[in-house]
Amino acid sequence: MKNRKWMWCLPLIVILFFAFSSVVHAGLYWETVVATGGMPKGLPKNLPKEARDQMLKQFDAKTETTKNYLTSYASRTETEGMIVIIDFNDMNMYQLDPSSKTYTKINIASAMGQMPQGMMKDMQITPTNETRKIAGYKCKKYIVTVMGMKSEHWLSKHVKGYKEFEAIYKKILKKNPELKNMPMTGVAGHEGFPVETVSNVMGMKTTTTLKKIEKKSLSKKLFEVPSGYKLRELKMPSN
């Protein structure tokens, strides 16, 4: 099925809910604890081996700390062995591999345009009356459904730095209104800061929980591909 061929891209694109020049910019920095487990099911048969191996490695049962940096023009996410930078000015996403000093480049707008028509139109965001305290914050539960897949989003407006997050978020969407149709950006920002998310995608469960957050001055270099890195072509699955 055509939709399934795009499933392997979702973990990269979902990342999108996070953004003007000089050397240092006011922004936010936060850390999350990410626990993953389960084995992926239903991967496209013609998925390139490189992409398949990357997904299997990415979703091995493990717990790690993720570092997140956010300004109104870009975001950076650091996981174990991988860095993802999103430039909201040109809508490019860069995935860096520090071990090989290589990177891939994807134009988000173009990738979204190639998705099957109506893929995101069936997205539903359902607020619930369920609340609980997570990481010291009172959170409200939202259910996001996309293509039959459900995920839990526990949001809070009591998180330190939430007002800054909301202001940055509004600037991002004003510049890139198409991001409103993405699962994460459809619920975060104006409803609260994501304290915890629980998703089940093709047999893989991922739980992301906020560990710490602070307002911070961020260098522009954080959001640039370091010199010496070589561009590596990303092979997309064929029809």
Q: Which residue has the higher pLDDT, 236 or 131?
A: 131
- Please tell me whether residue 232 adopts helix, strand or coil conformation: coil
Summarised one tens digit per residue, pLDDT across range 153-211 is 999 999 988 888 888 888 887 887 766 655 444 455 568 899 999 988 767 788 999 99
pTM listed for this prediction: 0.74
Among 166, 69, 87, which Cα is nearest to 77's? 69
Q: How far is CA 19 from the centre of its chain?
A: 13
Q: Calculate mean pLDDT across residues 3-27.
A: 46
pLDDT score at 7: 46
- Whether residue 36 is predicted with pLDDT greater than 70 in this model: the reply is yes
pLDDT score at 51: 72
Contacts of 37 by beta carbon, 8 Å cutoff, 6+ apart: 59, 61, 62, 204, 205
Which token pair is 171? 């600037």
- Whether residue 66 is predicted with pLDDT greater than 90 in this model: the reply is yes
pLDDT score at 174: 82
Q: Which residue has the higher pLDDT, 99 or 22?
A: 99
Q: With pLDDT > 90 as the criterion, what percentage of the chain qualifies?
A: 40
Rounded CA gap, 162 and 28, in Å?
Answer: 9
Summarised one tens digit per residue, pLDDT across range 206-234 is 899 999 999 989 999 999 999 999 999 87
CA atoms within 13 A on the CB side of 171: 17
Q: Do residues 195 and 135 touch, judged by C-beta distance below 8 A?
A: yes
- Please tell me whether residue 75 adopts helix, strand or coil conformation: strand
Segments making up each domain of the chain, as ranges: 2-231
- Whether residue 48 is predicted with pLDDT greater than 90 in this model: the reply is no
Q: With pLDDT > 70 as the criterion, what percentage of the chain qualifies?
A: 70
Q: Do residues 82 and 96 touch, judged by C-beta distance below 8 A?
A: yes
Among 233, 184, 235, 223, which Cα is nearest to 86's? 223
Q: Calculate mean pLDDT across residues 55-72.
A: 81
DSSP code for 11: H
pLDDT score at 23: 39
pLDDT score at 15: 44
Among 238, 239, 237, 203, which Cα is nearest to 52's? 237
pLDDT band at residue 119, thresholds of 50, 70 and 90? Answer: low
pLDDT score at 169: 81
Q: Do residues 156 and 231 touch, judged by C-beta distance below 8 A?
A: no
Q: Do residues 129 and 182 touch, judged by C-beta distance below 8 A?
A: no
**Domain 2-231 -> CATH class:** mainly beta
